[in-house]
Amino acid sequence: MTISGCSLFFGNIKPIIVKSTSYVIMNLSQMNSHWTAIPFQGSELGKIDIAYRLKTTGSMIALNSACQKQSTIAHPPPLQGLTRELILGFSEIQFKEETALVIAQIPALQMILRGTIQYEKMMLRAIVLEHRNCIYDLFYIARPDVFEKNNADFSRFVSSLQLKGK
């Protein structure tokens, strides 16, 4: 299962988009040996920054970033629009909840939903925030029957996020 994150959020100009190097986050596989780091191949923008898969269930926790090199954005995009881009592959959405949060002292938006992706029932918990011309997507995706079991691991992952240069 793959989810593309971090929408391109810079209008009609062709900006230079890069991955962020201005954050620190826990290594989930060191905290819990059941989580395995997923190596990604491909172009710099085509891969997720950090991702882990749970060996027993196939659940996934990940962080993705996209930054514009030039600081020409006067008004960052609304977080609601960015979370909608994360769910483009979902159909048959039965439950959706959005909540405003503060992550690493930055306003964020959390979305939890239940739906179908690639013919499988799944639940997604995604958190999106914007900081210094970068968009960060943190997400946890799992089958509904195991979602709650590993939700605390995602909460610890999110709470470990530290953004540099505040």
Q: Are 86 and 139 in contact (CB under 8 A)?
A: yes
User: What is the distance between the alpha carbons of residues 45 and 66, in angstroms, rounded to a whole number?
Assistant: 8
The helix/strand count (H/E) of the chain reads as: 3, 10
Q: What is the mean pLDDT of residues 7-29?
A: 70
Three-state SS string over 39-86 comes to: CCCCCCCCCCCEEEEECCCCCEEEEEEEEECCCCCCCCCCHHHHHHHH
**pLDDT for res 104:** 86
Give the DSSP H or E segment for 148.
helix 147-159
* Window from 29-33, 42-46, 68-72, 82-86 with minimum mean pLDDT: 42-46
| 11 closest CA partner among 65, 75, 84 | 75
Residue 78's pLDDT band, with cuts at 50, 70 and 90, is low
Q: Which domains does the chain have, with CATH numbers?
A: 17-61+69-163 (3.40.1000.10)
User: Residue 5 pLDDT more than 50?
Assistant: no
Query: What token pair was written down for 3?
Result: 């989810």
Dihedral, CA of residue 15, residue 19, residue 20 and residue 24, to nearest 10:
170
Give the DSSP H or E segment for 156.
helix 147-159
Q: What is the mean pLDDT of residues 19-34?
A: 90
Q: Which residues contact 73 (CB under 8 A, 6 or more apart)?
A: 10, 133
**pLDDT for res 2:** 42
User: Residue 145 pLDDT more than 60?
Assistant: yes
**pLDDT for res 91:** 77
- Measured over the CA atoms of residue 12, residue 14, residue 18 and residue 22, the dihedral's sign is negative
